[in-house]
């Protein structure tokens, strides 16, 4: 297995995402890793990523949780098949449902995301995700990812 972040291993066909794609010209560039059975990511927001002054924007939080969990779904599917993320044939998950509960204001500073797979059934993977600021959980999410069929043309090289 590789120590590179999930997102650095995505094939080019999946590397444009505003939240986590390495090829996006102006995105958030979220990077997620395995930590045992959890996916973990650190993120340092920019000053403009505010909601109310001094608080991390709720839409940015939703974006981070979405990208982090789709990364987890893809990493998990590759792990089950015993192969590297990004190795052909391409495995892609898309978000079917994202539910975020905002438990308390998240200060506009470094945050950590932790997610795990709760359940899988065929093409569907249910995940839970927590956002932590200063070690405190400030938001949590339930996310459903669905594996999509890929046309052969999408399975390009990285």
Q: Does 155 bind a copy of itself (CB under 8 A)?
A: no
How many residues bind to a copy of itself according to rule CB under 8 A?
38
CA distance 140 to 121: 22
Q: How many helices (H) and strands (E) are present in the chain, helices listed first?
A: 2, 6
- Note the Cα 158 to chain centre separation in Å: 19
Residue from 17, 72, 113, 117 binding a copy of itself (CB under 8 A): 17
Q: Does 24 bind a copy of itself (CB under 8 A)?
A: yes
CA distance 120 to 156: 27
**Which residues on neighbouring strands pair with residue 112, listed in sequence order?**
42, 132
x-or-dash pattern for a copy of itself, window 29-68, by CB under 8 A? ------------------xxxxxxx---xxxx-xxx-xx-
**DSSP 8-state symbol, 19:** T
Residue from 8, 27, 132, 137 binding a copy of itself (CB under 8 A): 27
Q: Does 97 bind a copy of itself (CB under 8 A)?
A: yes
Nearer to a copy of itself, 19 or 86 (CB): 19
Q: Does 157 bind a copy of itself (CB under 8 A)?
A: no
CA distance 64 to 126: 16
**Which residues on neighbouring strands pair with residue 26, listed in sequence order?**
none
CB of 82 vs a copy of itself, minimal distance in Å: 26
What is the residue whose two structure tokens read 């999408």?
154
Residues forming contacts to a copy of itself in the complex (CB under 8 A) are 13-14, 16-19, 21, 24-27, 47-53, 57-60, 62-64, 66-67, 92, 94-102, 105
């Amino acid at each position: 297995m590789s120590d590179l972040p999930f997102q650095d291993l995505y094939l080019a066909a999946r590397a444009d995402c505003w939240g986590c794609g390495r090829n996006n010209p102006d995105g958030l560039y979220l990077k997620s890793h395995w930590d045992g059975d959890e996916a973990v990511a650190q993120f340092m927001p920019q000053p403009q990523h505010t909601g109310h002054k001094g608080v991390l924007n709720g839409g940015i939080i939703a974006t981070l949780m979405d990208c982090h969990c789709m990364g987890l779904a893809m990493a998990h599917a590759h792990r089950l098949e015993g192969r590297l993320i990004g190795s052909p044939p391409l495995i892609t998950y898309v978000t079917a449902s994202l539910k975020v509960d905002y438990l308390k204001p998240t200060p506009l500073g470094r945050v950590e995301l932790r997610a795990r797979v709760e359940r899988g059934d065929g093409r569907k993977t249910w995940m839970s995700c927590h956002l932590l600021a200063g070690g405190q959980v400030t938001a949590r999410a339930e996310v459903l990812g669905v594996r999509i069929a890929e046309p052969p043309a999408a399975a390009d090289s990285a």
